[in-house]
Copies of this chain bind each other. A is one copy, B any other.
Amino acid sequence: MDHVDLNPSPIVGALVTVGDEILSGHIANSNAHHIATELFVHGFRLTRMVTVGDQETAISRALLDLIGETHFLICTGGLGPTEDDRTASAAATALERPLTRNAAYEQILRTYLAQREMPWSPPLEHMILLPEGAEKLGNVAAAGFFVEHWNTPCYFLPGVPAEVRMFMEQYVLPDLDRRFPERPLYRKRILRVQGLTESHIQERLQSLAPAELGVELGYLPQTAENWVTLFTAAETEDVADQRLQRAEEEVRWRLGADAISGRDGETLESVVGQLLRERSWKLAVAESCTGGMLAARITAVAGASDYLTCGFVTYSNDAKVALLGVSQQDLATHGAVSHEVARAMAEGARLRVDAQVALAVTGIAGPSGGTPTKPVGTVFVACATASRTIVLQHRFSGDRHHVQEESAQAALVLLWKELLG
């Protein structure tokens, strides 16, 4: 009987994020999410994330609390030329190393400026003061340094997301990989479930024994779909794959053949795109309440031009008539948000551009525009092919953005089921 096996021991790290703007809710901590994801897929675990403000004492205390607790430490933010960038001096205090001019970094910056014929400026004096013994990370102008302290590698990165990504990929991950070659292999698999509520999923998966399959099982409701997650730690790729594969089969069997639209990064739009490509079908899209969001999701997939012929954002009734051939009578009798108009939009879009299949959405996203019989959240989605048109009515709740997201998802689910046939 396989069990989740965490031997060899996990290599664990801690993350410190510096920034008043995160504590005040000004911005979300997107760096933390990126760093956590990257570490995980490379076989490292974070055990603690701490966010503190821009005060030197708060930063140095966070560093002191965490150093020695984990195999490695990453700190982001507070490196830069301005006065409120205090991470380097906080690190100097916490690690008991004086701040000194870093000659290597100074050289990099001077070369960078010379190439651009720019002068040295006083704020750069602040930027090149690093804790004694610190090594500049990379031969780049962006701040970022490394210190090994009490045998713990400590990586200090700036807060700009693009720079964090660059430093993680080019320096932190390769360096961690070199220092800790022996570590478990973590693998997770996300199964994207359509059309079942979380409690339905849990009910159907009750009889599954994840530990016997060597995996951990999780549930994660997303905006308009539910995720079942499978996680395993193993010593080889093969063992991990086998466990995840077997667990996935068990989940698929219990949830039903058409419940899982894809796994991991296979979004509904990428799966639908693949199905269209296989059939050499062209798709047309006609949107009212989603206002372009449906087309934008479809074209977020590279290569969508292979199958998306065009999209119509027919927000006004006039546009529905002029561009899609919806009849004035249907609009007058049934209203723009109706079974009939959704059907006419899909069929009209399909014929106008000679596509094999067309998708249409019309609804009331709110916050105003609802009526007693058609409250905000009432949405019709339609899918037209040469042989038939299917129209489904939904009633979504939540704010405007949420209704738009649910509507786009419902349209894609309808297309997906139609293409599955």
A interface residues with partner B (beta carbon < 8 Å): 20-30, 32-41, 45-53, 58, 62, 65, 82, 84, 160, 162, 186, 188, 202, 218, 220-221, 229, 231, 285, 287, 290-300, 302-305, 308-316, 318-319, 322-323, 352-353, 366-368, 398, 400-401, 404
Contact A313 B291 (CB under 8 A): no
Query: Which B-chain residue is minimally distant from A289 (CB atoms)?
Result: B299
Q: Which residues of B contact A51 (CB under 8 A)?
A: 32, 48-50
**Shortest Cβ distance from A220 into chain B, in angstroms?**
6
Contact B293 A296 (CB under 8 A): yes
> Of the candidates B30, B48, B300, which one forms a contact with A291 in the assembled complex, judged by CB atoms under 8 Å apart?
B300
Contact B291 A295 (CB under 8 A): yes
Number of copies: 2
**Shortest Cβ distance from A231 into chain B, in angstroms?**
8
Contact B311 A316 (CB under 8 A): no
Contact B302 A292 (CB under 8 A): no
**Shortest Cβ distance from A365 into chain B, in angstroms?**
8
8 nearest interchain CB pairs?
A291-B299, A292-B295, A25-B37, A311-B313, A25-B36, A292-B296, A310-B319, A292-B292
Query: Which B-chain residue is minimally distant from A311 (CB atoms)?
Result: B313
Known contacts A25-B36, A292-B293; A316/B312 CB under 8 A: no
Q: Which residues of B contact A82 (CB under 8 A)?
A: 202
**Shortest Cβ distance from A79 into chain B, in angstroms?**
14
